[in-house]
């Protein structure tokens, strides 16, 4: 009589090497750590809510060029003082840089917004808040948003800058006056320096030389196209659809690709 056999397949046990392979393929989630001085838990939630509310209102006045509200600036300065004190009770000793980063975050302002007037207002708010914190007898004039010393006299912005400087705080303004004329002048000087010292290029990496070559070729192609373009003689004023090569863009791409 024929004997029937049955094979039972068991699940293959995972080896250590197999497990490591599976683990390496699994998606790793990296959690970005929050800087201690930006942790919401270290501050009164009501203070953070008010900073955001007042900050957004003040930002709007700068964006829309509305009349600035002194009361908003006064309130933001007071809130910043509270913010500093709350940080101290939770082992956070703020300075000008940490306060700027914190106020940008909690007011909802981002540097990419590029509202320089609001950024300057935040700078002055921080300076006043630091002075008021370090000098408990000083007060803030709610009508003018000026700091008053212990004798009731205005503690000027110049004095605030001097005090910040004495404490090692950098109060220099960034060089934002650099215009295109200065930039072009530097470029001309750079080109002249290369002409006069052509052998310097022998010590520059090929990758950088290739990029420089591409930039020069692109600039020359663009200038050639602009010179060859005919002026628009159409007298009709109104909306019209421009051809794709109206500004030489497609020609420029073609010129570059042919190099």
Residue 117 to residue 114: CA distance in whole angstroms: 9
Decide: helix, strand or coil at residue 9. coil
Examine the domain organization and report whether 116 and 159 are in the same domain. Answer: yes
Examine the domain organization and report whether 95 and 162 are in the same domain. Answer: yes
Examine the domain organization and report whether 129 and 219 are in the same domain. Answer: no
Q: Is residue 20 in a domain?
A: no
Examine the domain organization and report whether 132 and 203 are in the same domain. Answer: no
Q: How many structural domains compose the chain?
A: 2
Examine the domain organization and report whether 90 and 162 are in the same domain. Answer: yes
Examine the domain organization and report whether 159 and 250 are in the same domain. Answer: no
Residue 103 near residue 80, CB atoms below 8 Å = yes
Residue the block writes with tokens 């006069």: 196
> Taken in order 127, 132, 138, 144, is the CA torsion positive or negative?
positive
Examine the domain organization and report whether 158 and 111 are in the same domain. Answer: yes
Q: Is residue 23 in a domain?
A: no
Listed residues 146, 166, 186: the one ending a domain: 166
Per-residue pLDDT of the chain (259 residues; tens, 9 = 90+): 566 666 665 655 555 566 666 555 555 555 668 899 999 999 999 999 999 999 999 999 888 877 777 899 999 999 999 999 999 999 999 999 999 999 999 999 988 888 888 999 999 999 999 999 988 899 999 888 899 988 888 887 777 777 767 655 554 544 444 454 555 666 777 777 777 777 778 878 888 888 888 788 777 776 665 555 555 545 444 444 545 554 444 444 554 455 5
Examine the domain organization and report whether 90 and 154 are in the same domain. Answer: yes
Q: Is residue 173 in a domain?
A: no
Decide: helix, strand or coil at residue 18. helix
Residue the block writes with tokens 């709610």: 142
CA trace torsion 137, 142, 145, 147 (10° rounding): -10
Examine the domain organization and report whether 156 and 259 are in the same domain. Answer: no
Residue the block writes with tokens 């000083």: 138
E strand or H helix that includes residue 141: strand 139-141
Examine the domain organization and report whether 162 and 40 are in the same domain. Answer: yes
Q: The domain containing residue 256 runs over which residues?
A: 194-229+243-259
């Amino acid at each position: 009589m024929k004997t029937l056999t049955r094979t039972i397949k068991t699940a293959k046990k995972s080896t250590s090497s197999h497990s490591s392979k599976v683990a390496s393929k699994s998606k790793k989630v990296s959690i970005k750590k929050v800087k201690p001085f930006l942790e919401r838990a270290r501050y009164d939630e009501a203070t953070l809510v008010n900073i955001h509310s007042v900050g957004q209102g003040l930002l709007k006045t700068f964006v829309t060029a509305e009349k600035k509200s002194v009361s908003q600036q006064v309130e933001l300065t007071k809130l910043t003082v509270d913010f500093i004190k709350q940080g101290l009770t939770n082992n956070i000793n703020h300075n000008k840089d940490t306060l700027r980063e914190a106020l940008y975050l909690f007011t909802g302002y981002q540097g990419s917004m590029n509202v320089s007037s609001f950024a300057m207002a935040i700078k002055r708010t921080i300076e006043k808040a630091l002075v008021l914190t370090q000098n408990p007898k000083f007060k803030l004039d709610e009508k003018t948003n000026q700091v008053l010393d212990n004798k009731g006299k205005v503690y000027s912005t110049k004095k605030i800058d001097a005090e910040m400087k004495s404490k090692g705080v950098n109060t220099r303004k960034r060089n934002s006056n650099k215009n295109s004329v200065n930039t072009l002048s530097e470029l001309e000087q750079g080109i002249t320096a290369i002409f006069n010292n052509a052998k310097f290029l022998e010590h520059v990496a090929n990758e950088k030389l290739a990029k420089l070559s591409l930039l020069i070729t692109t600039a020359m192609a663009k200038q050639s196209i602009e010179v060859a373009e005919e002026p628009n003689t159409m007298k009709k004023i109104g909306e019209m659809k421009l051809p794709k090569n109206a500004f030489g863009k497609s020609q420029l791409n073609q010129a570059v690709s042919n190099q």
